């Protein structure tokens, strides 16, 4: 059994996918961009601002299921430019401060809507 997860506290999906899917006690979050939920537009600024917003969006989806970033066991990060790794990492370290989840980080050619960073995760509830 799977349950489709949606919260108005995070941006709507920009394609045919769900914000998250819950299967048993595992929550699979789709990639979050730096979109402002109220406007659907990319937050102003660079990779740091987009990372902070993407992490805020991720936290909103987690919160909708009674979870926090402490429930996250794995993240996957996509950067439009690997040169932005340090700026991204500084924002990530503000959110994940202990008992860090496993993580992969990749540079990709492009991200949806011209995003500079996208973050997906898996959490255990």
Q: Confirm whether 105 is a catalytic residue.
A: yes
pLDDT tens for 16-28 read 999 999 999 999 9
Catalytic residue from among 14, 21, 95, 105: 105
> For 56-82, b where at least 16 C-beta lie within 10 A, e where not — what string?
bbbbbbbebbebebebbeebbbbbbee
Tokens of 104: 């992969």
Question: For 33-72, what is each residue's pLDDT tens digit?
Answer: 999 999 999 999 999 999 999 999 999 999 999 999 999 9
pLDDT band at 99 (very low <50, low <70, confident <90, very high): very high
pTM above 0.85, yes or no: yes
Neighbouring residues of 100: CB distance < 8 A, sequence distance ≥ 6: none
């Amino acid at each position: 059994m799977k349950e489709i997860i949606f919260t108005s506290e995070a941006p709507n999906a920009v394609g045919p996918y769900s914000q998250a899917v819950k299967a048993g006690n595992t929550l699979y979050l789709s990639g979050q961009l730096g979109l402002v939920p109220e406007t659907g537009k990319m937050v102003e600024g660079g990779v740091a601002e987009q990372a902070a917003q993407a992490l805020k969006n991720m936290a909103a989806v987690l919160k909708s299921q009674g979870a926090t970033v402490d429930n996250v066991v794995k993240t996957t990060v996509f950067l439009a430019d690997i040169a932005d790794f340090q700026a991204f990492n500084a924002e990530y370290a503000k959110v994940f401060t202990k008992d860090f989840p496993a993580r992969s980080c990749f540079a990709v050619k492009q991200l949806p809507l011209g995003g500079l960073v996208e973050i997906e995760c898996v959490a255990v509830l």
